[in-house]
Structure 1
């Protein structure tokens, strides 16, 4: 059972400077210092997603793991799509099963349209339906100027961050019933782009546009589409892809003075997936520690 959250838990979160030791891409949770908090010992469910089935891409670690743990404790079975981080994925699955729910591990590359279709097919075959799709998998490659952006890196970021959402939704659409929820992990970068992240920031803006359009297209069928825009969140993507100086000071630019933990991002995903959010469609919910999005 999760521990009872401390009333001042936020004040106990790690603050920069952090150890700037890089970790190999795509990163493992076990290699991070300080270790991230996914809500393993704090998130307490209340049955908000009882009986639902969710598919989460990038579900092995970071925000994906925190959302998976929260969904399981709220009563959902969870399919975890991930690249090849089998150790992280198995750890996440163990937390899902500890909550009394079923987990399905689906490794592979979401840049491949055929694999994306298979994700949906295997999820529906295993659980009988699909109620919630969380598009969370992402690639980030930094470059100091346009000339430094490799075309392959540009294409890869769009393939994983944006195209995969379309591939999965195209396959999932026939299975989505009224009340189903689509949630995209966008970013504060969609509104406030970062210089070294031209490709990444623009993919997140594209996701916001897709969500706004999907809210119109699918809203007519009673299916909702929303986005969560995290600010700096302490996930494996950070030490695996960012410059040493950025890792050391990560999150210090926020009014909170620190990065958010994955556990602090999970609650909006729960709310958006729940029936309580039946009139929330096309929303962009910022979780930024006070950074303003305009």
Structure 2
């Protein structure tokens, strides 16, 4: 009798939940807006760009200037070298670093107009900036970038490894050796060469921040090579953090989800760009200014002096299924 009563009680609970579920209105697909200002939501205009992509051509223009973010000298007197600093996350980080009192070195591949606009944005914050053009796959360029930083400002306190290469490939058979090599050389060798050059001149209290990705955590079927490099960057971050601990240099990583930057419209087809970011729980991509404060946090000795070897995901929410 007790068994039958328990079984009936469980069926009653099941029926009660089913009735409640049936009466619950279906969720509307609404993008989450919880920031200081509204952010663009998909669908976006269909668009595609040749590599490496230009920020000034994006529609809508990425939001990077964070007008409601107030600086408080968290990076006063610091010098930061940012790879991929001309656009996207790199540009937003450059602006907020300047607002916090840092001078900035903007390293970029070939996007002269974007780099000039980022330099002007840093100077508009009352700080100095220099632009260095070159390929992070080249060890000599990375060493030269650090040398130019020291020549211009006398020291290097923060390295942001941010430059990246990404192109979708749906089948492993179609992923050419040239494509695979380009991704690894840019995303792994570039980070290694730059960190190696920077570590030689950095003093105690300095920080290295790498840009990882949600793809390095969850994987991505059409980004086999890119996901592999981003997972490698996460491991590189934790390993280098342990190695540089005795030098009192912190190493951390920000792992974003979809962000509205030139990286993706110069990779995805126009139809996919239109829907970019719609699959995350927040139903929209991040804007660069929503990601940049995490870099300020990890660079600032006032805010994160007890944090090293960490991977900080900023991916537009978990769950939803």
TM-score, with length taken from structure 2: 0.87
Match of residue 308 from structure 2? 281
Q: Does 1:237 align with 2:287?
A: no
Measure, in 1, the Cα distance between the counterparts of 2:281 and 2:247.
40
Q: Contact between 1:18 and 1:33, CA under 8 Å: does it hold in 2?
A: yes
Match of residue 132 from structure 2? 106
Instruction: Select between 59-68 and 153-162 the one with higher mean Cα deviation.
Output: 153-162
Q: Contact between 1:80 and 1:103, CA under 8 Å: does it hold in 2?
A: yes
Q: Does 1:26 align with 2:91?
A: no
Measure, in 2, the Cα distance between the counterparts of 1:181 and 1:203.
21
Q: Contact between 2:212 and 2:230, CA under 8 Å: does it hold in 1?
A: yes
Q: Give the secondary structure class of the aligned counterpart of 2:266.
A: helix
Match of residue 17 from structure 2? none
Match of residue 217 from structure 1? 243
1:35 CA displacement: 1.0
Measure, in 2, the Cα distance between the counterparts of 1:245 and 1:226.
35
The C-alpha deviation readout for 1:100-138, integer Å capped at 9, x for no partner, is 111010001111111111011111111100000000000
Q: Contact between 2:47 and 2:274, CA under 8 Å: does it hold in 1?
A: no
The 5 A counterparts of 1:190-209 are 190-209=216-235
Residue 130 (structure 1) aligned to one of 156, 164, 169: 156
Q: Give the secondary structure class of the aligned counterpart of 2:200.
A: helix
Measure, in 1, the Cα distance between the counterparts of 2:151 and 2:66.
28
Measure, in 2, the Cα distance between the counterparts of 1:291 and 1:233.
16
Match of residue 170 from structure 1? 196
1:283 CA displacement: 0.7
Instruction: Select between 265-274 and 250-259 the one with higher mean Cα deviation.
Output: 250-259
Q: Contact between 1:20 and 1:239, CA under 8 Å: does it hold in 2?
A: no
1:12 CA displacement: 1.6
Q: Give the secondary structure class of the aligned counterpart of 2:75.
A: coil
Match of residue 110 from structure 2? 84
Unaligned runs of 5+ in 1: 1-6
Q: Contact between 2:36 and 2:68, CA under 8 Å: does it hold in 1?
A: no
Measure, in 2, the Cα distance between the counterparts of 1:249 and 1:181.
36
Residues 22 and 172 of structure 1, relative CA distance in 2, 3 Å threshold: same
Q: Give the secondary structure class of the aligned counterpart of 2:255.
A: strand
The number of residue pairs the alignment matches comes to 286
Match of residue 20 from structure 2? none
Report the aligned-residue RMSD: 1.4
1:65 CA displacement: 0.1
Match of residue 120 from structure 1? 146
Measure, in 2, the Cα distance between the counterparts of 1:197 and 1:93.
32
Based on CA coordinates, which of the two structures has the bigger radius of gyration?
2
Residues 209 and 260 of structure 1, relative CA distance in 2, 3 Å threshold: same
Q: Give the secondary structure class of the aligned counterpart of 1:144.
A: coil
Q: Give the secondary structure class of the aligned counterpart of 2:196.
A: helix
1:244 CA displacement: 2.8
Q: Does 1:57 align with 2:69?
A: no
Measure, in 1, the Cα distance between the counterparts of 2:318 and 2:224.
19
Instruction: Select between 143-152 and 55-64 the one with higher mean Cα deviation.
Output: 143-152
The C-alpha deviation readout for 1:192-214, integer Å capped at 9, x for no partner, is 11111001111100000000101
Q: Does 1:74 align with 2:114?
A: no
Measure, in 2, the Cα distance between the counterparts of 1:129 and 1:63.
23
